[in-house]
Amino acid sequence: MRLIVGLGNPGPEYADTYHNVGFRVVDILAGRFGVRVNIACGPALISNRIGSEDAVLVQPQTFMNLSGSVLPKLFERFEASAGDVITVYDDIALPLGKLRIRQKGSAGGHNGVKSLISSSGSDEFLRVRVGILPERPVESLHDFVLSRVAKRDRDLMERAEAAAADAVEALLKEGPEKAMATFNRLDLRESKEE
C-alpha cells in the first residue's frame, strides 16, 4: 500500500500558507479520486483507497515538526514501510514554479521531512518537493513559510500544486524514473506570461 503523505500544519489558520503545499496537493488528489481524507488513523487523517491504485492519502494532524509520529500507526495498519511512502512538501530551496522528485536523501533543512526520517529510520522514501521561493527577496524564511500565499504568487502556486498532484499520479502509474524525467525539468515560470 502506498502512503501519500502531504505535509502541512492542521487548522484553518495555516490552510493558505506556503508551508501547507502538501495538504493542498493531497486535497487536489482527493478531489480527483472522489475520496475524503477524514478517517482517523492515529495522529493522522487518511482516505479510503484511491481509485484502482493501491494507495491512500494522508494528512498528519500533528504540527509539521512532528509529522513522522503518524508513520508507526500507518505502517502497522497497512503493513507498510518507508519505501511505501510518497511525501509531498514545500521546498524553500526551489523557486516557485519548479518541482523535484527524489527517491531518497537528506531532509534539506525541512523539519517535517526530518521527522519522517527520524520516525521511519530511513531516508529512502519518495518525495515530491514543490518550490515556494518567490523571485523577490524574503527577509525571514520562518515567517515567510508560515505566511499566507501572496496574491501575486497564487496563480503560479496553484499550477505548481496541480503539477505536483500529476507527479504523484505519475509515480503511482509509471514509477520514479519516468516521473522524474517528466517533472524534474518542468518550469512553470516559463509559461506564466502566455
DSSP category for residue 156: H
Q: Is 169 helix (H, G, I), strand (E, B) or coil?
A: helix
Q: Which three cell numbers stand for residue 170?
A: 505519475
Q: Which residues partner with 60 through β-bridges?
A: 44
Count of alpha carbons within 13 Å of 79, Cβ hemisphere only? Answer: 1
Topology of domain 2-191 in CATH is Rossmann fold (3.40.50)
- For residues 53 and 13, give the distance between their C-alpha atoms in angstroms, rounded to a whole number: 32
The owner of cell 521527522 is 115
Q: Which amino acid is at 185?
A: R
Q: Which amino acid is at 29?
A: L
Report the pLDDT value the prediction gives residue 141, as an integer from 0 to 100. Answer: 87
Q: Is 32 helix (H, G, I), strand (E, B) or coil?
A: helix
Q: Mind listing the pLDDT tens digit for each residue in 124-161?
A: 999 999 999 998 888 888 899 999 999 999 999 999 99
- For residues 33 and 173, give the distance between their C-alpha atoms in angstroms, rounded to a whole number: 14
Does pTM surpass 0.75?
yes
Just list the catalytic residues.
19
- For residues 18 and 58, give the distance between their C-alpha atoms in angstroms, rounded to a whole number: 19
Report the pLDDT value the prediction gives residue 191, as an integer from 0 to 100. Answer: 63
Which residue stretches of 106-150 are H helix?
A: 111-120, 141-145
The domain ranges of the chain are 2-191
Query: CB-based burial of residue 52 (10 Å sphere; 0-12 exposed, 13-18 middle, 19+ buried)?
Result: exposed
DSSP category for residue 5: E
Report the pLDDT value the prediction gives residue 194, as an integer from 0 to 100. Answer: 42
Cα 151–Cα 92–Cα 183 angle in degrees, nearest 5:
90
3-state SS of the chain: helix, strand, coil percent to 5? 45, 25, 30
- For residues 192 and 118, give the distance between their C-alpha atoms in angstroms, rounded to a whole number: 38
**C-alpha distance from residue 16 to each of 20, 42, 90, 129 (Å):** 7, 25, 13, 18
Q: pLDDT tens digits, the chain, 194 residues: what are they? A: 999 999 999 999 999 999 999 999 999 999 999 999 999 999 999 999 997 779 999 999 999 999 999 999 999 999 999 999 999 999 999 999 999 999 998 888 898 999 999 999 999 999 999 999 998 888 888 899 999 999 999 999 999 999 999 999 999 999 999 999 999 999 998 765 44
